[in-house]
């Protein structure tokens, strides 16, 4: 019995070569993907470590940032004739620092004393908060503020979250009056209200 295919050339090798080449290509591709993934993760890790190191070196040294000089002095204020005069330097360092940071040369001690006439619980450490509220409202450039100004009230509430409603109302009135006086001083005018406290 003869086999028809016995004389024919068999081609199993032709079918296996493309399959083997495909498997080899798959292996090479998976190696490339793994290599690229490892390079990407390694590069990201190096970038993160480099960023942390750079930030550590760029962070200002607190000891170098704070000079060992004398305590800050008050910014100059104008007298009645408009001539700059040095303001008094408060004895308390927190008050002196708050005064030195005022954008408009607010006298932090006067603002603190204004608050203390109605709320004796205000601390020297609160001077910076008061000065920041005062500066913010002087920047509004309004000569006349109401005793219950909503913007001042919101700022005081944010600065003193534990204040009672009565303290909040008093601090708002005090700040409004102080800002009006400072606005008048800066513009050489008379404050519109002599007393927002009601007496």
Q: What is the pLDDT of residues 15-59, one digit of tens each?
A: 566 676 677 777 766 776 677 777 777 777 788 887 787 777 776
Helix or strand or coil: residue 86?
Answer: strand
Question: Per residue in 69-123, pLDDT tens?
Answer: 444 444 444 455 655 444 445 667 888 888 888 888 888 888 888 888 887 678 8
Give me the pLDDT at residue 136, please.
94
Is there a domain that residue 181 lies in?
yes
Give me the pLDDT at residue 121, please.
77
Give me the pLDDT at residue 63, please.
47
Determine the structural domain holding residue 43 and report its residue range. 12-59
Q: Is 64's pLDDT higher than 70?
A: no
Give me the pLDDT at residue 132, please.
93
Of 30-34, 150-154, 194-198, minimum mean pLDDT range: 194-198
42, 125: one domain = no
34, 93: one domain = no
The answer to whether the CB of 172 falls within 8 A of the CB of 153 is yes
36, 127: one domain = no
128, 97: one domain = yes
42, 135: one domain = no
Contacting residues for 170 by C-beta, under 8 A, at least 6 apart:
118, 119
Total domains, the chain: 2
| Among the listed residues 122, 152, 150, the one whose alpha carbon sits nearest the alpha carbon of residue 135 | 152
Task: Kindly indicate the confidence band of residue 154, based on its pLDDT and cuts at 50, 70 and 90.
Answer: very high
Whole-number Å distance between alpha carbons of 89 and 109? 9
Of 10-14, 43-47, 134-138, minimum mean pLDDT range: 10-14
Q: Is 66's pLDDT higher than 50?
A: no
Give me the pLDDT at residue 32, please.
67
Give me the pLDDT at residue 80, please.
54
The answer to whether the CB of 131 falls within 8 A of the CB of 90 is no
Contacting residues for 166 by C-beta, under 8 A, at least 6 apart:
none
Q: Is 133's pLDDT higher than 90?
A: yes
Helix or strand or coil: residue 50?
Answer: helix
Helix (H) or strand (E) holding 184: helix 165-187
The answer to whether the CB of 188 falls within 8 A of the CB of 194 is no
51, 87: one domain = no
80, 156: one domain = yes
21, 93: one domain = no
Whole-number Å distance between alpha carbons of 51 and 80? 54
Instruction: At 187, list the tokens.
Output: 């513009």
Give me the pLDDT at residue 15, please.
56
Whole-number Å distance between alpha carbons of 16 and 68? 83
Is there a domain that residue 48 lies in?
yes
């Amino acid at each position: 019995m003869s086999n028809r295919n016995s004389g024919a050339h068999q081609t199993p090798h032709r079918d296996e070569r493309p399959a083997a080449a495909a498997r080899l290509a798959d292996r090479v591709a998976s190696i490339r993907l793994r290599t690229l993934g490892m390079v990407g993760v390694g590069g990201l890790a190096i970038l993160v470590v480099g960023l942390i190191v750079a930030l550590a070196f760029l962070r200002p040294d607190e000891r170098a940032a704070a000079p060992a000089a004398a305590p800050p002095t008050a910014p100059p204020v104008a007298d009645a004739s408009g001539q700059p005069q040095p303001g008094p330097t408060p004895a308390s360092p927190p008050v002196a620092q708050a005064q030195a940071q005022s954008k408009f040369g607010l006298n932090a001690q006067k603002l603190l004393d204004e608050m203390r006439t109605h709320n004796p619980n205000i601390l020297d450490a609160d001077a910076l908060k008061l000065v920041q509220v005062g500066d913010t409202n002087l920047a509004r450039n309004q000569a006349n503020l109401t005793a219950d100004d909503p913007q001042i009230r919101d700022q005081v509430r944010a600065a003193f979250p534990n204040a009672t409603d009565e303290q909040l109302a008093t601090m708002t009135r005090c700040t409004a009056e102080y800002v009006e006086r400072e606005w008048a001083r800066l513009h050489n005018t008379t404050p519109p209200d002599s007393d927002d406290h009601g007496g």
